[in-house]
Chain A
Amino acid sequence: MADESGQAATPGALDARRLRTLQSVGMLCGLTAGAWLGAAEAPTKLVTLGLSPVVISLSMVIGVFLARWTLPALIQGTSYVAADLRQAPHLIVWAVLAGCLWAVANTLTIFAVRDVGLSIAFPLWNSNSLLGIVWGILFFQELRGADWRRWAGVLGGALLMFVGATALALASAAQVPARDAARGVAAALAAGVLWGTMYIPYRKAYLTGMSPLSFITFFTVGELGMMTALALTYSGGATALWGQLSGARHVLFWLLAGGFVWVVGDLFQQYAVKYAGITRGIPLSNTNQLWGLLWGILVFGELRGASGSVLAQVIGGSLVMALGAGVIALSSVSKSEHAHWQKAAASEGERYGVDPEYTRSRIAGESASITRRRTWIDWLVVSVATATIIGFALIAHAPEIAFAWAWAIALVIVTLGMLAVAGLSLWRATRFN
């Protein structure tokens, strides 16, 4: 039962209207995440192949690192992040662990594309959403208390998206010759398992109530630390790695930019997990494949001169994937399922001694008692990150590649529009909590 202000009258319970609002915002964030994660592929397409997989991955992660500190500093301020972590310091370990999982998975995908091509690799690692759903059900009581229609909607929608993704990937294959099928398949599957399992720390943090903006600042420490260790190991030491990075300095900006755009998508993905759960948020953000395909076909001229059957496969795969996303988006969380989420949240809070009021208010998208203020540290972080990116932009070479400007501008406008709508909705509903 709710009072007039729309707040839950019973501790821990949300009124139906507030629940619907948070759900809608979560779904919107999932769809926006898909658009931005797909757009992140565009800058990396500009890079001429020839760089080693670990150098590509490390360069992207440096861009990711810059963005993951800049955005929270700009939006909430580092004092907010610090206050958030004081409430649940154990989540630092979970965030670093999630960052390590991401770094290894991202490196594996680059090896997978190299060895078996995008057509086989993409659907294999996109299975991460199916595994994420399994973890959500097993560990976090997602879909418990849901009726059969919601079970069918989520599982059926995820399967439809998987089928659509497979068709799209087969059609949009970059025709990369298979070099070592077994290793490539193993790399793609392993990446899917790593990413699917990465949602355990995500959900753990958001059930406790942490803001995604706080979580990602430590997530990226694990990400950059693990990626640097991998790059040093597989590049033959610091000197060799430095040599490779110096040799690639003219294209590093494009990889940094890819990483930066990726972070915006990932941030929305994290809010989707927080407010819509793994079972809904992750499949929706996996629509990134559709956006990647749009960039590839419309802007970079991929599939030009493709046969009718390939085009039919692309259109069919896209429709099936969009249908799957639509089915999931309609399978909103019922009040009884949300009660199970709150039970899981209470159990988390009790285990780690987190203030129940903090958890309750944050799950409801409220700001608890933490105040926001920006200090000189925030402006320093933003200035250093901006100067670094501008520095790389100044030495970057414009790639010589066919580029359809009109389509690129159209896609940028749509993507920015989605950012504006989702960002505004998120701000109004949760103040980015």
Chain B
Amino acid sequence: MSDNQREQPSGNWLGLVLRDVQFWVPVAVLVAGLLVLRWIS
């Protein structure tokens, strides 16, 4: 991979994170955890 190709995605890293399926697994678990917390308290 050339340097130019590497620099392009790093400029838009937030978009890359949001498009990463693995990101949404912890997000979903966090939301579920907050709901459980709301229920038990």
Contacts and interface: CB of A to CB of B under 8 A. Distances in A.
Interface of A: 89-90, 93-94, 97-98, 100-101, 104-105, 107-108, 111, 115, 135, 139, 180, 183-184, 186-187, 190-191, 193-194, 197-198, 200-201, 204, 230, 234, 350-356
Interface in B1-41: 1, 5-10, 13-14, 16-17, 20, 22-23, 25-27, 29-30, 32-34, 36-37, 39-41
A111 B30 CA distance: 17
A353 B33 contact: no
A98 B23 CA distance: 11
Nearest to B6: A353
Given A198-B26, A200-B26, A352-B9, A93 B14 contact: yes
Interface of B: 1, 5-10, 13-14, 16-17, 20, 22-23, 25-27, 29-30, 32-34, 36-37, 39-41
B36 A351 contact: no
A187 B32 CA distance: 11
Given A101-B29, A104-B30, A105-B33, A352 B40 contact: no
A343 B9 CA distance: 19
Given A89-B13, A352-B10, 8 more contacts: A101-B33, A104-B34, A111-B41, A190-B32, A191-B33, A234-B41, A352-B16, A353-B5
- Name the residue among B14, B17, B20, B23 with the largest chain A CB count within 10 angstroms: B17
B25 A200 contact: yes
User: Interface centre among B14, B32, B36, by most A CB within 10 Å?
Assistant: B36
B17 to A, nearest CB: 5
B35 to A, nearest CB: 9
Contact of A194 (B7, B20, B29): B29
B33 A194 contact: yes
Contacts of A198: 26
A352 B7 CA distance: 9
Q: Which 9 residue pairs across A and B have the least CB separation, nearest first? A: A353-B9, A90-B13, A353-B10, A190-B36, A183-B40, A197-B29, A104-B33, A353-B6, A194-B33
B37 A230 contact: yes
Given A98-B26, A101-B29, A353 B8 contact: yes
Contacts of B17: 90, 93-94
B20 A351 contact: yes
Contacts of A193: 29, 32-33
Contact residues of B: prevailing secondary structure: helix
A26 B10 CA distance: 30
Contact of B36 (A98, A139, A187): A187
A111 B20 CA distance: 33
Contacts of A101: 26, 29-30, 33
Contacts of B14: 90, 93
Contacts of B37: 104, 107-108, 111, 187, 190, 230
28 contacts: A90-B10, A90-B17, A93-B17, A98-B26, A101-B26, A104-B34, A104-B37, A105-B33, A107-B37, A108-B40, A111-B40, A115-B40, A183-B39, A186-B36, A187-B37, A190-B32, A190-B37, A193-B29, A193-B32, A197-B26, A198-B26, A200-B22, A200-B25, A352-B9, A352-B10, A352-B13, A353-B5, A353-B8
Contacts of B29: 101, 193-194, 197
Nearest to B8: A353
B38 to A, nearest CB: 9
Contacts of B25: 135, 197, 200
Contacts of B39: 183, 186
A154 to B, nearest CB: 21
A180 B39 CA distance: 12
Given A352-B9, A353-B8, A201 B26 contact: yes
Contact of A108 (B13, B22, B33): B33
A97 B24 CA distance: 11
A90 to B, nearest CB: 4
Given A89-B10, A111-B41, A352-B16, A204 B22 contact: yes
